[in-house]
Structure 1
């Protein structure tokens, strides 16, 4: 089992423990902030389980139905996770506004504070672990999971601070106001996650810096006279790129093929943390204008 899959199993187990703790004391205390945190942890559990499914199946080799593999399950999982974060944020916002309108008090405040302290310690340990795995593997799903639990860590800290203020000031309005702040932060955090996942699903080109590195590498090749029609995209931890490289008409096919192999290896060395798939078209003359006409 890959370390990424182990990480999703661990995050699922942690989410289950947090759901049990927060949901129990959220219902007992009547705190919208604790209940919202419990609902978010429940969604974490669902998302982590889906992430395990996505990572398990994205590893499968290409076949007759999926010629390029299933790597796009990873950005799909990121989009789903970002969407779930957004939906849970909207629910928290609704509950917070409802509590402001209806008004209610918090009971068993001390127990809720203890539960939130425990949640912070557990979540902090999980975030550190997921960050380590994400940095080691560069996996988008694990990075998204780490971001998700990082927002939980911050929201848990805010909930704990709010419960402490309520204990000191006896002003229950702090609880729903904090809920509104948490929902806004969650929406803010989810947007880039959804955006990156959608761009990957739509086969957006690599970032400008990566494309510049590729062009610089191609321009440094003295065996070719020019290049054109460079196309790039990312699918999970895989990079796909295609390009036409132009030779002198007198260059033999063997020599051109050898140059193409060297450039393909150079592409792989250019992105050592990713799996690079190159499609290099060998042109005996510059046919870029012909391609544009077609």
Structure 2
């Protein structure tokens, strides 16, 4: 019987499968973009359609973006390593930023050129009917590749693949504009063809800006939306053992989410119980959002965002032991000491074995000897304790 794959093995298998799926859909889209780009550029040139020519150039920018996607996906789906313990997904974000910048640059150049043509009134030739055929083929083909690419992007949770899908959708929309403008130009409104070229360039700029701005927000560690943040806090607060949540920070890496959260629990529980409470919080959050990559939880005995948090200058264990020995004498070897650092005081618990002398076991004597220790809050003495 085969043993189930470990989380690390499963993660490696997922990365390999995602990279393969992304490469396949991108290569198919790139071949389609080359064919459509050639058809539209040739038809636009031969049959006098500036809008179709610009649309063809748009298709060739899709080819450039496909090459970017292939390179970036190969790197971004690499396994985490010593220098990149959280993985390489930010490379995908950077690739999306580059892709958006390319779209903005191409769209701006095409918009400027055709705006000048429109102002100068250079639209004086009626486009031929093959322009309509080329545009119709483009609409059908790009709409198909959009749905195919988007389906893969959602399946592998890749913003870059989704961005490339919307790039294909923009090409389909621009071809619709070509259809309408060519019909208008053939009806006698020749300026519609050049105006359509400007509109298509504007579509390219808009999509490029959206990709770029979303990538910039991710690269500067923009967190989750307020509603998602509050939803995750509610999940933590409703977990048994959690008294409060006083900090939750989030950031994105590609499609994945990284979280840091501070959980306030009872101050007298064990370390292992606090950790177990934190694991229940992690489970609840992962159930709510399946793209959480990592949750780093910090267990607090009190809210350290209070106006007077517990000072780090309070004495540590060895200093407390030294004071005890000085004040009440040498402690039995099996004595256990538990310290609670709360509200700027050290609260002390001593656990003695019943075999210790009654003088050592005297809680009144111990409290009396320690009464003038300003750093101590309370002193508890237990016999045959845990």
Offset from partner CA, 1:116-141 (integer Å, 9 cap, x none):
12111111111121222233333211
SS at match of 1:262: helix
1:276 maps to what in 2?
A: 293
Structure 2, unmatched stretches of 5+, are 1-16, 313-386
Instruction: Return closer, same or farther for 1:232/1:4 CA change in 2, 3 Å cut-off.
Output: same
SS at match of 2:58: helix
TM normalised by structure 1 equals: 0.91
2:283 maps to what in 1?
A: 265
**Is 1:126 aligned with 2:161?**
no
Aligned pairs (5 A) from 1:84-233: 84-100=102-118, 101=120, 103-106=122-125, 109-169=128-188, 171-233=189-251
Greater helix proportion: 1
Per-residue deviation, 1:156: 0.3
Larger radius of gyration: 2
State whether residues 28 and 108 of structure 1, in contact with CA within 8 Å, keep that contact through their aligned partners in structure 2: no
State whether residues 55 and 197 of structure 2, in contact with CA within 8 Å, keep that contact through their aligned partners in structure 1: no
Offset from partner CA, 1:163-186 (integer Å, 9 cap, x none):
1222222x3211111122222333
SS at match of 1:179: helix
Instruction: Return closer, same or farther for 1:248/1:292 CA change in 2, 3 Å cut-off.
Output: closer
- Structure 1: distance between partners of 2:138 and 2:35: 9
Q: CA RMSD in A?
A: 2.2
Greater relative contact order structure (CA < 8 Å, 6+ sep): 1
**Is 1:286 aligned with 2:303?**
yes
> Which portions of structure 1, spanning 4 or more consecutive aligned residues, are displaced by more than 4 angstroms?
290-294
State whether residues 239 and 280 of structure 2, in contact with CA within 8 Å, keep that contact through their aligned partners in structure 1: no
2:266 maps to what in 1?
A: 248
